[in-house]
Structure 1
């Protein structure tokens, strides 16, 4: 995968700069309760966490994700539910995941501050 001088991934010439973050697949196997979402510019990091959160919803029958090709920065997330629309389930899972990440960040910041308070820098480290 090509990487720029700043260490970030370079955009592939086939990638569209104006791409929506969230799209969904259309076709005969798609309806409000069975939907495949395409999330652009994401990979296994979001896919695995999102699948885990979605599967905790008791109304979800199935959830899985794939990365269609290693050179494409997108994931396909399939959600099948009993009675709640798949888009609503995805939206709730994204909000829950964001809240969980914020809670973890706060806990890390508290622990870092606690460590700094109990381990003040020595004179040699202060220079």
Structure 2
């Protein structure tokens, strides 16, 4: 059909940045981040993590088109922070959370494999 091959959804083309940043010129402390080759999975997790930050006034994402594999994350922060700081903090926090989840899962798997 007209849809691209499945592998194209996740492979970032040569010369393309994974994340690009665009500052909003109309609203102070607001910006958009375009994340290539991602979908609702990352968009929703990132949005929820951003909502945990007390300096974030607004965080949302959208998929511009179902056949274009990118998301646009929009962040508006208070004057105590910047969208770039909030984005980087959210990514680092998610990285730590996922590392903890992986460690806990592996520990439980090790316990389970000893029992049998």
The question of a shared fold, defined as TM-score above 0.5 by the shorter chain, is answered with yes
* Correspondence 1:79 to 2:79: no
Q: TM-score, normalised by structure 2?
A: 0.86
Unaligned runs of 5+ in 2: none
Q: Which secondary structure state, in structure 1, belongs to the residue aligned with residue 87 of structure 2?
A: helix
Unaligned runs of 5+ in 1: 4-8, 120-127
* Correspondence 1:22 to 2:22: no
Q: Which secondary structure state, in structure 2, belongs to the residue aligned with residue 25 of structure 1?
A: strand
User: How many matched pairs?
Assistant: 111
Q: Distance in 2 between matches of 1:18 and 1:81?
A: 30
Alpha-carbon deviations, 1:80-106, whole Å to 9, x = none? Answer: 011201001100100000110000000
* Correspondence 1:117 to 2:114: yes
Moved over 4 A (4+): none
Aligned CA-pair RMSD:
1.9
Q: Which secondary structure state, in structure 1, belongs to the residue aligned with residue 8 of structure 2?
A: coil
